[in-house]
Amino acid sequence: MVKERINKFEGLEVYQKLCELHLDIHNLSLTFPKFEIYELDSQLRRSYNSFPANLAEGRNNKHINIYLEGINRALGELRETQHHLTIAYKKNYLSEQIYSEYIERYNECGRMLRGLEKALEKWK
């Protein structure tokens, strides 16, 4: 099977998955207690918004090293979001099943980002 060249960041499967996660986590965060709106909820919102944005920003750059830096920043934000989810789980804002599902989805995206990073390093 020949894979087609992806010219826009929107065509990347990992970007699409990260956007789906963004929307799902947004809806989940709306269920947190109101007093968390400026604390955990705020931190979570900033981190889950940053990783697809960093990937998009890096992808639209003509320099491979800047694209790789965007992937690296996206991975950092992804891990930060996992941390915030872990804290939400420990505060009993989500069940173990929901927590595990989100963590696995993030791990999958992390693997995909690492794969993209390796492919770009080879191409470079």
- pLDDT at residue 4 is higher than 50: no
Dihedral angle at the C-alpha atoms of 99, 108, 60, 43, nearest 10 degrees?
Answer: 20
Could you give all domains of the chain from N- to C-terminal order, each with its CATH number? 12-123 (1.20.1440.60)
How many whole angstroms from its chain centre is CA 29?
15
How many whole angstroms from its chain centre is CA 68?
15
Burial of residue 10, with CB atoms counted within 10 A of its CB: 0-12 exposed, 13-18 middle, 19 or more buried: exposed
The percentage of the chain sitting over the pLDDT mark of 70, rounded to a whole number, equals 91
**Rounded to two decimals, what is the model's pTM?**
0.84
pLDDT, the chain, mean:
87
Where residue 92 falls (left for φ over 0; alpha for ψ -120 to 50; beta otherwise) is left
Separation CA 83–CA 68 (nearest Å): 23
- pLDDT at residue 5 is higher than 70: no
pLDDT digits (tens, 9 = 90+) for 70-116: 889 999 999 999 999 999 999 999 999 999 999 999 999 999 999 98
Compute the residue count for the chain: 124
3-state helix, strand, coil in the chain (%, to 5): 80, 0, 20
